[in-house]
A = this chain, B = another copy of it.
């Protein structure tokens, strides 16, 4: 095989890539950011010691690995549920690769090589890699079609498998420098590029991700055909003529697969939420690399639609269980919220790319909201229990029975656990970004980062107790005095903006303003696109302090969201709070949060691995056992961070609380959910 890819370290060192057009900003790679953060480091370590091993173990025990072995042997019978089960191995491999780059682990490294060897052997001579067909080509998986790719737009997910292979391969190459998996990926991608394209075969991939994967291969190799094929796939959408455009059913009109219109004509987020956000992420990549302004305009419109009309208050998207999809505008019911964990992860991918396109903090505001709330709620504190869906409300009568009240170890369709396995260790790559002499601080995560300003290395040490505390400290250590701009994101929530749209607003504006100090003295600062711009010639040991206001805030929703009318949610810093049965005498559906209720915050190191809780005395409604009498009494109410719910058993949970008695959902005493305590 010819040496056709650019050395990763060279790419990383360049700061921007070799292409003439690209994102105006690039993330500072995860390999240059060493975390020692009290909030994130334990999660990354748990990911390494628990999640990834458990994930590989499940790939083995459920037969996912055996599928590859059988494909290599071309004998046996595909032994798991879905033809895309191959991707669980790719995703875990991707997460393990990130982990290895930070925590060397020869045994894990060797295991990865063994797995990669099995993957390589399962690949057909022309590069095709899809165990659901290769094991027994005459009898492929029922969803796969009798020929390669004939069912791609519907159910086969052959290109979905390819996309995750490419993502894993590039991560593995970047993290380890090894090319064994990358070579498999490139061989597969060469086949895809040979088969699909203008004048060749066309298809709108049924579950998007191959677009992002191909772009990553392009970035590694510089080979334009990967980028061109990614663009080709994106532009294939809306070309199929056999949908019924007048049918409202998203499966019948193509919108379930984002295939109802050309992407250039799409203005609203529709269909399966994960597929949609993977598409929008791929569009951002291709638009950045091609300068396609029309494509950027399309995802700008869609972003405004999502953030303005289709996002839950804790940053989750994809409200509708039937189809795991976006609902209509403002259709955000609490009792049936679907909110797939993968959709939260996809949202982070997409918002990071929107930021890199536009350099505006609002994208990171949304990313942070999702990250600290609706994304990490997907994984239990033990690192091996997962939500596929992320409920907004668990109450007995009024909860959809399909909503998950507790996390599971694995799922038949186990996309979410393995997506978390790959996302969590990549987190360091989201903390900083750079554009020439502009260094962006996007997330407030303690650790040491290395950036390169005009060839000169600069260390940035971040120290804080975020998200519990708003006092942020940054120590700048250039080798020698270096002029550059430190751009510190002032979160929207610190600026009286609950979300960058009118969808949610704070009921009580903060009286405090964000304070910035340099070397102990408060400084005036200008804000550009949401960032405090600190421009100076930085000297070794310069210290920046940023003090964010951490009042407890009540959030109200737009009246367009009918399910949230007359209700409030609680926020402090980036965290959304919920009330859970465990802290509140066994239930929360009888609680009222009046406008007059006054909360205090209190850090409790012993609770849920350490959390700041919110407390207030509030009215609670009691119904007598015979159902004929009702009364209110004052009760001590405790709210915990939403991400931490469902770690102590199963019972009521609510995010939105009525402000007045009249909006309480009354229940007879025998209808109230009896909590189940985990032991």
Residues of B within 8 A of A629 (CB): 619, 632, 661
Residues of B within 8 A of A627 (CB): 594, 659-662
Residues of B within 8 A of A592 (CB): 628
Q: Does chain B have a CB within 8 A of A630?
A: yes
Q: Does chain B have a CB within 8 A of A668?
A: yes
Q: Are A666's CB and B661's CB within 8 A?
A: yes
Q: Are B668's CB and A623's CB within 8 A?
A: no
| Residue of A659, A662, A663 with most partner-chain B CB within 10 A | A662
CB under 8 Å from chain B, chain A span 624-679:
624, 626-632, 659-664, 666-668, 671
Residues of B within 8 A of A569 (CB): none
Q: Are B666's CB and A623's CB within 8 A?
A: no
Q: Are A628's CB and B666's CB within 8 A?
A: no
Q: Are A630's CB and B630's CB within 8 A?
A: yes
Q: Does chain B have a CB within 8 A of A621?
A: yes
Which listed residue (B623, B659, B662) contacts A661, Cβ 8 A? B623
A69-103 vs B, CB cutoff 8 Å, 1 = contact: the mask equals: 00000000000000000000000000000000000
| Residue of A619, A623, A661 with most partner-chain B CB within 10 A | A661
Tell me, in angstroms, the Cα distance from A596 to B663 when the chains sit together: 27
Residues of B within 8 A of A664 (CB): 666
Q: Are A623's CB and B662's CB within 8 A?
A: yes
Q: In angstroms, how far is the closest chain B Cβ from the Cβ of A399?
A: 16
Residues of B within 8 A of A626 (CB): 594
Q: In angstroms, how far is the closest chain B Cβ from the Cβ of A113?
A: 59
Q: Are B630's CB and A621's CB within 8 A?
A: yes
A592-605 vs B, CB cutoff 8 Å, 1 = contact: the mask equals: 10101000000000
Q: In angstroms, how far is the closest chain B Cβ from the Cβ of A632?
A: 5
Cβ-closest chain B residue relative to A668: B662
Q: Are B628's CB and A630's CB within 8 A?
A: no
Residues of B within 8 A of A596 (CB): 628
Tell me, in angstroms, the Cα distance from A668 to B592 when the chains sit together: 14
Q: In angstroms, how far is the closest chain B Cβ from the Cβ of A287?
A: 41
Tell me, in angstroms, the Cα distance from A24 to B633 when the chains sit together: 68
Range of interface residues on A (Cβ < 8 Å) = 20 to 34
Which listed residue (B594, B623, B631) contacts A628, Cβ 8 A? B594
Which listed residue (B630, B660, B666) contacts A631, Cβ 8 A? B630
Residues of B within 8 A of A659 (CB): 627
Q: In angstroms, how far is the closest chain B Cβ from the Cβ of A252?
A: 13
Tell me, in angstroms, the Cα distance from A621 to B621 when the chains sit together: 12
Cβ-closest chain B residue relative to A662: B666
Tell me, in angstroms, the Cα distance from A671 to B631 when the chains sit together: 20
CB under 8 Å from chain B, chain A span 214-246:
none
Residues of B within 8 A of A662 (CB): 623, 627, 666-668, 671
Residues of B within 8 A of A619 (CB): 628-629
Residues of B within 8 A of A666 (CB): 661-664, 666
Residues of B within 8 A of A661 (CB): 623-624, 627-630, 666
Cβ-closest chain B residue relative to A667: B662
CB under 8 Å from chain B, chain A span 333-361:
none
Q: In angstroms, how far is the closest chain B Cβ from the Cβ of A673?
A: 14
Residues of B within 8 A of A594 (CB): 626-628
Residues of B within 8 A of A632 (CB): 628-631
Tell me, in angstroms, the Cα distance from A632 to B631 when the chains sit together: 7
Tell me, in angstroms, the Cα distance from A663 to B628 when the chains sit together: 10
Q: In angstroms, how far is the closest chain B Cβ from the Cβ of A591?
A: 12
Q: In angstroms, how far is the closest chain B Cβ from the Cβ of A645?
A: 25
Q: In angstroms, how far is the closest chain B Cβ from the Cβ of A359?
A: 46
Tell me, in angstroms, the Cα distance from A659 to B666 when the chains sit together: 13
Tell me, in angstroms, the Cα distance from A69 to B472 when the chains sit together: 90
Q: In angstroms, how far is the closest chain B Cβ from the Cβ of A568?
A: 13
Which listed residue (B621, B660, B668) contacts A660, Cβ 8 A? B668
Tell me, in angstroms, the Cα distance from A154 to B661 when the chains sit together: 50
Tell me, in angstroms, the Cα distance from A369 to B596 when the chains sit together: 52
Residues of B within 8 A of A624 (CB): 661
Q: In angstroms, how far is the closest chain B Cβ from the Cβ of A397?
A: 9
Residues of B within 8 A of A631 (CB): 630-632
Tell me, in angstroms, the Cα distance from A660 to B661 when the chains sit together: 16
Q: Are A628's CB and B668's CB within 8 A?
A: no
Tell me, in angstroms, the Cα distance from A621 to B622 when the chains sit together: 13
Q: In angstroms, how far is the closest chain B Cβ from the Cβ of A533?
A: 46
Tell me, in angstroms, the Cα distance from A654 to B594 when the chains sit together: 30
Residues of B within 8 A of A663 (CB): 666
Other 15 A-B pairs with CB < 8 A, given A630-B632, A630-B661: A594-B627, A623-B660, A623-B662, A624-B661, A627-B660, A628-B660, A628-B661, A629-B632, A630-B630, A631-B632, A660-B668, A661-B666, A662-B668, A662-B671, A666-B666
Question: What are 15 of the A-B contact pairs (CB < 8 Å)?
Answer: A592-B628, A596-B628, A623-B660, A623-B661, A624-B661, A627-B661, A628-B660, A628-B661, A629-B661, A630-B630, A630-B632, A631-B631, A660-B668, A662-B667, A663-B666
